[in-house]
A = this chain, B = another copy of it.
Amino acid sequence: MAPNADPDVAKGAPANRAEFLEVYQKLKSQLLEDTEAFTYTDDSRRWVARMLDYNVPGGKLNRGLSVVDSLKHLKNGVELSEEEKLLASVLGWCIEWLQAYFLVLDDIMDSSITRRGQPCWYRVPQVGFIAINDGILLRNHIFRMLRWYFRSKAYYLELNDLFNEVEFQTSAGQMLDLITTPAGEVDLSKYVISTYIKIVQCKTAYYSFYLPVACALLMMGKNLENYKPTQDILVLMGTYFQVQDDYLDCYGDPHFIGKIGTDIEDSKCSWLIVQALKRANCDQRQCLLDNYGKADPTCVSKVKTIYNELALQSVFSEYEKEVYDKLVAEIENQEDHALQTVLKAFLGKIYKRQK
């Protein structure tokens, strides 16, 4: 086959999941055998091993794998060296560790029951509030791993700053979410689009969309200061991704998405309720106030009826079309063609997704 005959394969052969998981095993062993700053006792080594296996590798791994994919694209299809593949995978796992840290703590704060088809970690017998410190340990592992693999790199400082900045944005977004939608006393007048967007950008988009690409850019020796427009594109994509998530919670096929949505019952500050409140007349608004956030199926169905009266499915389709056109235009504005490929690959993965 001629070189580049199939550019999707040549330039963007998706990262190998099995290879990526091997790197997890390697990192786990290194962390457990680390004696530089702390030496585990047998009990505590077993504890951490179990905690890692329970919380880190069980997700879809999209965020982590996309560091490897992004680097491949940025290198214009030139084969990654073994070292590059390893380093990109380590950064990918750092993002997965970051995600695990956020989720372990978020599940406690939200009193959630299950995560990824198993009980939330804090609900496992003998764990309980120890899960809080486990979250902190997960976070601390990231900086161990960055130090081991990147301390001699010219971009080590930027990498540290990047992870610190994204962690800060995510926890600031969490705060905004927590004080806007406090458990048990929802105030729907706070559910406005500006707050919604700010929460989503901070608590999801930075670490899920911007961070993987920023990691790959740093590995390419780029200065992130010059990539603010790229950041804006990725943050907008992350926002669109969360809007889809909210939409699918109500209108998706539970078969595809693997769960039955409960955002209405849970009083979530969802894109749908924000749009509904903006468009509702007096009676509809009152009906939403009376029925949102109740477990009773009659209440849920009254909310859904108003969503339908307000044609939120078309409102979503229009939003989706607009945001897609905007993203494509802005991606094509990017000078760097390899970077365009990265961004289009991200967009391709989420556009009109059903799950």
Contact = CB atoms under 8 A, between A and B. Distances in A.
A44 interface: yes
- Tell me how many chains of this kind the complex includes: 2
A126 B182 contact: yes
A260 interface: no
A171 B126 contact: no
Interface in A163-187: 164-165, 167-169, 171-176, 178-180, 182-183
A201 to B, nearest CB: 10
Contact of A130 (B129, B173, B179): B179
A223 interface: no
Contacts of A137: 171-172, 175
A195 B172 CA distance: 37
Interface stretch (A79-87, A153-161, A266-274, A299-307): A153-161
A133 B37 contact: no
Interface residues of A, number: 48
Contacts of A169: 37-38
Contacts of A128: 183
B175 A47 contact: yes
A132 B130 contact: no
Given A179-B43, A183-B128, A38 B133 contact: no
A109 B130 contact: yes
A296 B62 CA distance: 54
Nearest to A38: B172
A147 interface: yes
A226 interface: no
A225 B108 CA distance: 39
B105 A136 contact: yes
A278 to B, nearest CB: 19
A103 to B, nearest CB: 13
A134 interface: yes
A143 interface: yes
A4 interface: no
A152 to B, nearest CB: 12
Nearest to A176: B44
5 contacts: A44-B179, A47-B175, A105-B136, A136-B174, A156-B157
Give 3 nearest A-B pairs by CB, closest first: A38-B172, A140-B168, A143-B164
Given A111-B129, A143-B168, 14 more contacts: A37-B172, A38-B172, A40-B172, A47-B179, A48-B175, A108-B129, A109-B129, A109-B130, A126-B182, A130-B175, A130-B178, A130-B179, A133-B175, A140-B168
